[in-house]
Chains A and B, each alone.
Chain A
């Protein structure tokens, strides 16, 4: 009796499908436009499909512009995020499985950083990084977002469910604390690591504000900063812009399709825990 009547479902489904089409239309338009010859992208009236699909715009990004370097920089920044992931897992484990002096206060401090907006921290963080000569370096770009309070919190919640007996037994067998973490805790934490790794990848790949502030010279630009420069050129070239945008968006769509479950789960946890 809880099922809706069929006509109701059909109408709702049609409306939802229309909404989904409208929502994702900008991405479709992006991809088709990126494959058009330059003149066709600004033609009146607009064409949906390119008359002769061409990869010319993509070739230009990598030959005339420095997108190969931006791509490498982005990949480096994203990989550095993996180091942060490891630190967050360590901290989560420390808070989940040890009782130590000051742990309550420290964890509260961790949670407090969740409430501080980035606009407050951006100037001082720049000043701090400037002080330690990390401005205009890839490490400097990755550093401010390497560790998030929320990530530590999620790791702690998950690792608290690992049975203490398992760790005690390993200790009795003479395993060191780091070894227990690496060989027992990490393998058991694979689900949460998967969720966090995907979220870290997306955040690193997409990040814009820190690369924009920290990277002052072209050779340190990431894809997002390089892409934002395409917007400032005097002669706007939509095909080139859409090719650049596709370069950023399509990998994320692929990751999303593969890891949809993890991503949705991760964002839901970030919402309701």
Chain B
């Protein structure tokens, strides 16, 4: 009993003590079961429900996707499984011959090239600025930048769709005040790409600002003081002392941002449905359209496997670069 009491008081908070005391009232009969087969099975019981769900919706789908990608499964095949044919790599051959797929790859590449550097530079700059003072005012400002990150994408699409509206949208009305003609924010191909990307950047920076801020605040004060004593200016101190210490945060943000843009789906789906003339159809949207609008499950699965391979390869390259960077 002494061991019990000691451990309970060592635990943080009073609830633990109360809880442990309640447990103490257990009957001697239960005590005998200690260490029996039930205890040996307990861990499996604890992890089973979550793992079964993860297996069903995390791992199994990969195998199903790989399998389905080798068949001609479509909506008819769902009702009549006997009509599904195995067509080997036919879907993949068709995919690589499909100009729409290449166009979607090119569009995704465009978004990656524009989006990744923009998000990183903007979030790092805002984080550095926010970190310049610990005053209440600066801390209160953080919330405003973070808000878009936790807002529903559908609501965001409606709000921005309204702002972008070519007839009565606020943006064009403001431009009209200074005599600039109406801009087809979502109707002109290149402009539409940039408009859609802008919304995604707006939504993604909040989270990355928080990550950079956390990293900036963990930079030891002594380092900065030492640099200042050595007569280093702020600019030099930032690039020579702070920036190298942000390497992990920078790496993390780069990897997740890159993966995010490779999977880019929400904004173009809700704002433009991939248009105009396919200008904003990313690979994810291409897969979604083929899967759920055209019901070509086999063909779409082949596309998703290709996307998966691209994402895995890009991530592997980055991990390797980081490793050589550390060495």
Contact = CB atoms under 8 A, between A and B. Distances in A.
A103 interface: yes
Contact of B312 (A4, A9, A91, A115): A115
Nearest to A26: B159
Contacts of A63: none
Contact of B7 (A169, A244, A260): A169
A98 B46 contact: yes
Contacts of B133: 3-4, 9, 12-13
Interface in A9-45: 9, 12-13, 15-17, 19-21, 23-24, 26-27, 29-30, 33, 41-45
The dominant DSSP class at the A interface is helix
A136 to B, nearest CB: 14
A256 B143 contact: yes
B150 A202 contact: yes
A210 B53 CA distance: 15
Interface in A103-159: 103, 106, 109-110, 112-113, 115-128, 130, 143-147, 149, 152
A261 B149 CA distance: 15
Contact of B170 (A1, A29, A176): A29
B47 to A, nearest CB: 4
Contact of A90 (B50, B154, B297): B50
Nearest to B47: A94
Nearest to B298: A123
Interface residues of A, number: 120
A202 B53 CA distance: 20
Contacts of A44: 168, 173
B290 to A, nearest CB: 9
Interface in B173-229: 173, 176-177, 202, 207, 210-211, 214-215, 221, 224-225, 228
A245 B148 CA distance: 13
B120 to A, nearest CB: 14
Given A17-B141, A98-B46, A122-B291, A188 B16 contact: yes
A126 B65 CA distance: 11
A184 B144 contact: no
B293 to A, nearest CB: 11
Interface in B207-262: 207, 210-211, 214-215, 221, 224-225, 228, 234, 248-249, 252-253, 256, 259, 262
Contacts of A231: 157-158, 161, 270
A88 B159 contact: no
A127 B27 CA distance: 50
A159 to B, nearest CB: 11
B267 to A, nearest CB: 11
B154 A227 contact: yes
A224 interface: yes
Given A124-B64, A144-B57, A271-B207, A118 B263 contact: yes
Interface residues of B, number: 126
Given A16-B141, A180-B23, A271-B214, A166 B7 contact: yes
Contacts of A127: 64, 68, 78, 297
B28 interface: yes
A181 B43 CA distance: 11
A176 to B, nearest CB: 7
Nearest to B22: A183
A224 B42 contact: no
Contacts of B68: 123-124, 127
Nearest to B133: A9
A76 B133 CA distance: 43
A111 B3 CA distance: 36
Contacts of B30: 174-176
Contact of A208 (B152, B168, B210): B152
B7 A23 contact: no
Contact of B64 (A29, A128, A169): A128
A117 B307 contact: yes
Contact of A123 (B160, B211, B215, B297): B297
A120 B65 contact: yes
Given A109-B59, A146-B53, A224 B154 contact: yes
A216 to B, nearest CB: 11
Nearest to A228: B154
Interface stretch (B87-95, B109-117, B124-132): B124-132
A51 B156 CA distance: 25
A129 to B, nearest CB: 9
B43 A94 contact: yes
B151 A249 contact: yes
Contact of A238 (B33, B162, B210): B162
Interface string B284-327: 10011001100001001100110110011001000000000000
Give the top 10 A-B pairs by smallest Cβ distance, nearest first: A94-B46, A113-B58, A174-B26, A98-B43, A124-B64, A169-B4, A20-B144, A91-B50, A124-B61, A165-B7
Interface of B: 3-4, 6-8, 10-13, 15-16, 19-20, 22-24, 26-31, 33-34, 38-40, 42-47, 49-51, 53-65, 68, 78, 126, 129-130, 132-133, 137-138, 141-163, 165, 167-168, 170, 173, 176-177, 202, 207, 210-211, 214-215, 221, 224-225, 228, 234, 248-249, 252-253, 256, 259, 262-263, 265-266, 270, 283-284, 287-288, 291-292, 297, 300-301, 304-305, 307-308, 311-312, 315
8 contacts: A2-B224, A2-B225, A17-B141, A29-B170, A106-B47, A109-B51, A224-B153, A271-B210
